[in-house]
Structure 1
Amino acid sequence: LYALVLLLREVLNRIQFRLNQSQLEELDDETLDDDQQTEWQRYLRQSLEVVARVMELLPSQTFSDLFPVLQEDLDIYLGLQQFIVRSGASRRLNITAEADCRKLHCALRDLSSLLQAVGRLAEFFTGDVFTTRFNDALAIVPRLVEVSCYGSQICLYDVEMAVPSVLKPDLIDVHAQSLAALQAYSHWLAQFCGEVQRQQDQTQFMDLITSSMAATTPLINAKSIQTLRPLHKFPHQTLCVLRDLVDSISGEATKSRQICYHSLQESVQVTLALFPLFIQQPDVTDEMLSFFLTLFQALRVQMGVAFTEQIIQTFLSMFTRDQLAVSILQEGSSGSKVVQKFLKILQVVVQEPGQTFKPLLPSILSLCLDQVYPIVAERSCPDVKAEMFELLFQILHQNWRFFFKSSVLSSVQRSGAEELMENQAQFIAAMQAFGQSFLQPDIHIFKQNLSYLEVLNTKHKLYHRKLFRNTMLFHFLNVLLQVLLHKSHDLLQDDITLALYNMAAVDFQAFYSSFLPEFLNGCQGLDPHQRTTLARNFTPERDLPSFSQGVYRIVNDLRFYRLCNGSLPPGTLKL
């Protein structure tokens, strides 16, 4: 403990100009680094973090070492008023000797640093320790209020002085840091307010609040708005502010988020009520959905199941097929962005664990497969497509039991038990949508969807499911081989080959004996002898490297045969 006390005192000494001026003056206080800090600011911040860590371990000792030093510099600052000489309307600071100006400069720099230190320690006086450290905080806060009032009322930085290039920035910084430190203790004042509500005598608290207002009011008046903007002309700015507010507390504790949602609840309900009125104005709808997306990401638990379901049902009823078509076909416009954000909101909903929002899954699937997908299937619309397939993937991944009902028997006897399947039509439609995307030129959608299928296979054994194996596996294998054959997505050659291997691994014997001959029979531009040669050369290997080599070989040979056959005149003997 003694070592920590020595460390604390040494750090406090090293940040004070009156004890360490020669070294501190060497630190650059002008050039900003990548974090928008000067060398001096970084040094001070790191030093104050050391003080804060010691405060965690030795709160009483830290306070008793720091507060007297602060008091000393505060007395110097508060005593400057007696050196102000008035001459008509002007005021002058009657400190002109070089040595006195140097001492004042050091005292002001130290006061600014110590005010930052006191502000940094504000968190150690609130919460569970409020009562035990109340007296220490009550010694600090009135002094902060006093120095803030003094700075706001006297405005020392506006006084004429001997060396304004040095002292004026010091005086401005002291006043700014005093206000910043007082702001840091606003949480302590709020907790103090809660405590005095249960007491008869509120004089002490009222004096602090009244004095704090006296310190800040002159600054508010000085910066008052000269031009009042027309009322109701900037509603989008309101939603931006609310959205940023919600986003800022997304990582906070549950209690903070409850308080935030309680304060925003009326605004959220009004925004939802207005949504149907602005559905034809995509720029406004875009702002609304951005707000709701942030709400769902940060406060969906606080909103509750009933209200969340009400929001989703409202959106689903508004986004009809015609409305979606109008929005999506305006690619890159606000309308397209509206649909993207709506799909993002649904992604958040379907990822919610438990059974809370499972009743919404049929409606969400219907929106995806029956309304959005037919519009984007044969068009580019890359942004909307990406979000739609992400939503489909999350529905399958996070709600697998919506389609495949597992049981104790099936988990113990995987080979013999019948798979219990529900919502088969929707599952088939989703798989067909994924398969159709592999026939289109968008390489980003292709890569995204291929990775989704691989994840579903890794997590849920998609390729091994009876329905997929019996009715879809052949088509996916065929499509992926055709893609390799046509060289349309050569950048993804390794990814495609890995997916082919994982699909073939479901039943290697069936792949080599059944699928491969059928695939070659369906390939145009080959004669029977060439098909037989290709099948014979694809050796039935079961490890990934050998399988990959076999795929590359058969694809290259098939291209070669087609090229040769296509360049020969009719009747020529083929290879």
Structure 2
Amino acid sequence: MSQTEKESLLALEHLMEEFFTHSTSNGRKHDIETQLNSFSNQRDCWKLCVYFLTHTSSQYVSMYALTTIESVINRQWVSLEWEHRVQLKSALYNYLIEQDVTAPYFVRNKLAKLIVDIARFDWPHFFPEFLTNIIQLLQSSDGQLLGLVMLHITSEEFMSTRPDLSSCRKEELTKLLQQNIPQIFQILCTILENVGIKPRHGATATPPPSPTQPGAAPDLTRELIAASFRPDNKFITRECLSTIQHLFTWANLTAIPLGLIKNIFYFTNISTYAQDDDDMCVLAMSALNELFYRKCTPPGTQNLFTELYHHTVQLLRDIVCPNSTRIETLGNDFVDKLSELLALLVEQHLWRLEAEPGFSALDFLSLLYQLTIQLPSVQCYLRCLAVWAAFIKQLKPQNTHKYSEALLGLIGVVLNKMQFTYNLSQLEEMDNESDDDNESEWKVFLKTSNEVVAMIAEYAPIDTFNEVLIKWKAANDVYRLLENAIDDINCTLKIEPSENIRLHCILRDLSSLTQTLARLSTLFTDKDNDYYKRSAPIIDSLVHSLIKSASAATNSKFYLLKSRLSDDFVEVHSQILAALKTWMPWIPLNSEIMSPHLQELLDITLPILRGGVQYPGKITHSAAHLLLGLSNMVFPPSLIILPSVVEFLHLAPNLRFSGSHTREVVNNAVCNILVRPWGELSHSDASHRNALINTFFDGLTREFKELGPHSSENKVKEVVSVTLPLLSHIIEFGTDFPSQSKKLLYMGIKPSVDTALQVFSNYSAIPEVSDQILALFLNVLSVLQQQLGVENTKHAVEVFLDVAVTQQQSKNLSGLDKLLQILQIVVESPGSTYKNFLPGILQLCMQHVYPLVICQVNEQPDIIIALLTLLHSILVHRWQYFYMSQVRLGHSPGCSETEPGPDSPQQPAQLLAVLQVFGQALLQPDINVFRTSLLALEDLQSKWKLYQKMLFRQQLLSQFLTVLCHTLLDRTHAIFTDDILLAIYNMAAINFQTFFDTFLLDFLQNMDGLTSSQRDSLKQSFNRETDMPTFIQHFQRFVNDLRCYRLCNMSIPLGSVIL
């Protein structure tokens, strides 16, 4: 450059100041960026950058200079002259050491990273003092913080999957660091002792016995130094804990000294610190959690995890200590980390400790119990429940008796916590507004509580059930008394205003406890359980009480009262109805209560459903599910003889409900009653049944069947959007019906199916219409194809194909994915009848759909996935269309179709075109498209030995291998690395000799960005072992080294000597 260094610095400072000025326009900023990039690309720009660093006071200039130097190190380091490398390394290191404590941390950290970047290439061969310098800094009082920063960055950079390092270099760095880890841990242990710990008074509580030495206890100090930290010590502590956390992610567990664990635990209980030091506790917990995440525990680490357990117990003891206020000041972040630690301990390590003689987790559970009770916030309490859930999941049946008392004690805690009567202040603060997933803070809390109760009930069902039932009865008794407390004239409750809050709590608790009982119902329906008969009288009483309460709610209509409690009454009513459905199995299982209760259940259900929108949505929805449960459990003729049921069947098609999806549930119940097996029927009974079916479906689809070619588009859209989703849902519901029931179902919907084809022909250009009709036929073919028959299926497919060809000419993609799914069902249909459709389907796919969607893969990924799925289905189910079967070729019937067998396809051009679609899909950026194609190819290999076919070997194998190798190289679909490697192995396994001697050589020869010596090195270093694990391991090394070479070569200026 012609300018002097000083002039260049002034110019750069001016540019940076101008760039970061708010008034600078975007256009001007772009011009400045162009100038700066131009300077950064000059070969010796780093020399000026070193000058800028040491002579500027602008942080912007410093960061720009450091970023430019970073680019030089990462892209040009190996090509720099030796003297320049020494000069730059020394300048950076000296400048880093000279930074005082007031220097911006981001400048310091950037400098440290540049030193580490150099060490990634040069240590220990050309930078032997690198780690020695860090250790010296760690051991000096003035440089300790800087040493920690450099150690932390070293851990991060050396252990990351950097693309610019070869596999050998990565392994070398890991090995060298592991060798020094013991010394580093000892130094870090000393640092923690010096910054915050000194001996304290003896422990006042005895820690639990050691699993390995019964009766012995670790020597733990209990006090932290009371003196305040100097500001630099706080920084040192935070950086030290953060560094240890990262080291724990990869260091050998056997190298971790127990003293380090003790010192880290000190910082989890810093009750004498100021509030802004809470992050130290969180950092300490985070470091410990990294150890608990290590599932693989090599021999020699038992003492480590025993020590971790003892310190965890002591931490809990300190937190819940009666004389401590620590629990009141716990932050959410700390409780998050604590619950994470406890859950990891329970899930992954407690079982190993339990195997030791003399070990008991009772101390741990006792403290966890106290923590659960004392935690001040609901969120903290829920995290404790997650730990309990983890413990119960790990509980072995033979150990249940040891912990039964603790588990039963937990039930009381959970039930009290979830009741407004005992916990009003906390529960009232919870949000009960549902989000997009129909969840709310309250729903999550209640669901979590009920799940923990249910988990305990699996080990103590009757005790748990009785404890819940006692509390439920108390609330239900009050609820039943309200029936006599209604002022019919004023439509109010005859209670004192002061009683409203108490009654609100009781109603909320009744609703919650009813849900708890419903959740427990699944434990009492298995006749093989020994407690089944013992619990029968209690459950009979519960069912009776539920029916009486539901009857009272239906008759009294509490929700209509002029009361602030109307929402509570709605919730109670809906939950009682929902609970009755869950206990429904007890009606047929206990015949003595069936007859008297059946009419009662109908009396509390049908009036609500007949009322439709007059009732709140929650209540009608629960009533609909109760009716559905009845229709599942009771023999249909037993229902159809009841006048109230027949009346309801006639009303059902025209009912409207305020609750979402309630109408669908009602339709399902009606279908259950009408089409489920009725047993042997007389001619008149069968005719009566058919008439009821036709009446129901006629009422449901009347407006739809009235549509014609002259109906207005708005009318068509409105009717179709209402009617067809209801029909589709009914058909889906009938998936598991027996054949005779499906026949009756098809009889009911057949007129609508015929109408749908006519409407599709006339209105297929309207997306809302075509989508719904295709969705209907997708369900019809999935569930009722046998009933639809071959001719009707053929007619429908012809209509869809004709319309599809027309629409593709207008590039209308509406409903195309559903059409392809319909064609897939046709292709997969058994028998030879449907194979006549195959030429037309392939023509549509290859000539019309594929050219249209391949250009819009990113915008319409679902359609290309549907196309790939259809083509895969054609090859799987109609393979004989391309390759004649063994039997037809004259081979023995016992000959396997999966052998390589015949190798001359009957439609070679068409098969090649289909397979090339899968190849094109592998080139797409959408990960789901890529995955669908890759898994389809692997499935075809597994089923039909696709890769061994001559057509594939000669025309596609090399192309597919090349695409997959480039995908690994570019890391565009890294999430599927394992699947890609397996596919490459399966393709290479067709002929390993050809793969090693031909494909790899051609692949390397055609690869840009490599030198001849690098190609030779890659070729010679590739291990030719052919077992799958070894091949995949060495292929990963091959790809990693290839990526490293190309990356380094791209960044080296022309004419440079490559080392």
TM range (shorter): 0.5 to 0.7
Q: Distance in 2 between matches of 1:572 and 1:447?
A: 41
The residue that corresponds to 1:562 in the other structure is 1046
Count of aligned positions: 442
Counterpart for residue 97 of structure 1? none
Structural mapping, 1:316-331, within 5 Å: 316-320=801-805, 323=808, 326-328=811-813
Does the 8 A contact of 1:279 with 1:318 survive in 2?
yes
Alignment match, 2:844: 367
CA distance in 2, matches of 1:312, 1:367: 12
Q: CA deviation at 1:254?
A: 1.2
Aligned partners of 2:636 and 2:991: how far apart in 1?
65
1:376-423: per-residue Cα shift (whole Å, max 9, x none)? 223322121111111111111122222222215383799896424222
Q: Distance in 1 between matches of 2:534 and 2:1048?
A: 87
TM-score computed with the length of structure 2 as normaliser: 0.37
**Aligned partners of 1:278 and 1:565: how far apart in 2?**
60
Write out per-residue CA displacement over residues 46-73 of structure 1, whole angstroms, 9 at most, x where no aligned residue. 5552231133xxxxx667xx55x999x9
**Structure-2 change in CA distance of 1:392 and 1:36 (3 Å):** farther
Asked if 1:376 corresponds to 2:834, the answer is no
Among 955, 959, 972, the residue aligned to 1:471: 955
Q: Which segments of 5 or more consecutive residues in structure 2 lack a partner in the other structure?
A: 1-530, 554-565, 602-625, 649-668, 693-713
Which sits farther off after the overlay, 282-291 or 355-364? 282-291
Q: Matched residues in 1 for 2:899 and 2:541: separation?
A: 75
Equivalent residues in 2 for 1:97-136, closer than 5 Å = 120=630
Deviations 1:194-217 (A, max 9, x none): 65949xxx9xxxxxx9xxxxxxxx
Deviation at 1:186, TM superposition (A): 7.0
Q: For 2:984, which of 474, 488, 500 is the aligned residue?
A: 500
* Cα distance, 1:450 vs structure 2: 0.8
Q: Which runs of 4+ in 1 moved over 4 A?
A: 3-18, 29-37, 40-48, 119-127, 182-188, 190-196, 230-233, 412-418
The match for 2:1001 is: 517
2:83 aligned partner: none
Structure 2 contact 731–780 (Cα < 8 Å) conserved? yes
Give the aligned residue type for 1:359: N
**Helix, strand or coil: the match of 2:590?**
helix
Check whether the contact 2:897–2:944 (CA below 8 A) recurs between aligned residues: no
Contact 1:52 1:120 in 2 (8 A): no
Using the TM superposition, give the Cα deviation of residue 281 of structure 1 relative to its aligned residue in structure 2, in angstroms.
2.0
Distance 2:898 2:777 in 1: 43
Q: Structure 2: how far apart are the matches of 1:35 and 1:402?
A: 62
Compared CA separation, residues 537 and 37, structure 1 to 2 (3 A): farther
Q: Is the 8 A contact 2:964 2:980 kept in 1?
A: yes
Equivalence for 2:832: 355
Equivalent runs, 1:223-234 vs 2, <5 Å: 234=718
How far, CA to CA, are the matches of 1:309 and 1:532 in structure 2?
Answer: 60
Identify if the C-alpha distance between structure 1 residues 441 and 194 changes in structure 2 by more than 3 Å, giving closer, same or farther: closer
Matched, 1:53 2:589: yes
Q: Residues 366 and 36 of structure 1: is their aligned pair in 2 closer, same or farther, counting only changes over 3 Å?
A: farther
**Counterparts of 1:477 and 1:248, CA distance in 2:** 45
2:1013 alignment counterpart: 529
- What is the distance in 2 between the residues matched to 1:520 and 1:297? 49
- Percent same amino acid among aligned pairs? 32
- For 1:439 and 1:234, locate their aligned partners in 2 and report how far apart those are by CA, in whole Å: 42
1:425 to 901, 909, 912: 909
Q: Paired residue for 1:276, among 753, 761, 778?
A: 761
CA contact (8 A) 1:339 1:384 kept: yes
Cα deviations by residue, 1:58-90 (Å, 9 ceiling, x for unpaired): xxx667xx55x999x99xxxxxxxxxxxxxxxx
AA partner of residue 392 (structure 1): L
Give the counterpart of 1:266 among 732, 751, 755: 751
Which residue of structure 2 aligns with residue 444 of structure 1?
A: 928
Is residue 2:812 matched to residue 1:340?
no
Q: Is the 8 A contact 1:247 1:298 kept in 2?
A: yes
**Matches of 2:633 and 2:896 in 1, distance apart?**
55
Equivalent position SS for 1:441: coil
* Aligned equivalents of 1:416, 1:301: Cα separation in 2: 34
Match of 2:795 among 306, 310, 314: 310
42 and 570 in structure 1: CA distance in 2 versus 1, 3 angstrom threshold? closer
Distance 1:45 1:37 in 2: 11
Give distance in 2, aligned partners of 1:414 and 1:250.
32
In structure 1, C-alpha distance between the alignment counterparts of 2:977 and 2:1030, rounded to whole Å: 15
2:874 corresponds, among 395, 400, 412, to 395
Structure-2 residue corresponding to 1:101:
none
* 1:191 to partner: Cα distance: 7.1
| CA distance 1:32–1:543, shift in 2 (3 Å) | farther
Distance 1:557 1:185 in 2: 64
Secondary structure at the counterpart of residue 378 of structure 1 = helix
What is the 5 A alignment of 1:170-209?
A: 195=682, 197=684
- In 2 relative to 1, CA 234–401 (structure 1 residues): closer, same or farther, beyond 3 Å? same
Instruction: Rate the CA distance shift 1:479–1:311 in 2: closer, same or farther, 3 A.
Output: same
Query: CA 1:321/1:514 → structure 2, altered by over 3 Å: closer, same or farther?
Result: farther
Between the aligned partners of 1:70 and 1:489, the Cα distance in structure 2 is 59
Does the residue aligned with 1:532 lie in a helix, a strand or coil?
A: helix
SS at the partner of 2:818? helix
Q: What amino acid is the match of 1:50?
A: W
Pairing partner for 1:404 from 860, 879, 883 = 883
Cα 1:458–1:141, aligned 2, differ >3 Å: closer, same or farther? same
Return the offset for 1:270.
Answer: 2.3
1:352 to partner: Cα distance: 1.1
TM-score (norm 1): 0.65
Corresponding position of 1:254: 739
Deviation at 1:5, TM superposition (A): 11
**Whole-angstrom CA distance in 2 between matches of 1:416 and 1:264:** 47
Matches within 5 A, 1:32-47: 38=575, 41=577, 44-45=580-581
Shift of 1:193: 13
- Hey, what's the Cα distance between the residues in 1 that align with 2:632 and 2:852? 57
**Aligned-partner Cα distance in 2 for 1:346–1:270:** 20
Task: Identify which of 762, 784, 787 aligns with 1:299.
Answer: 784
**1:108 — aligned with what?**
none
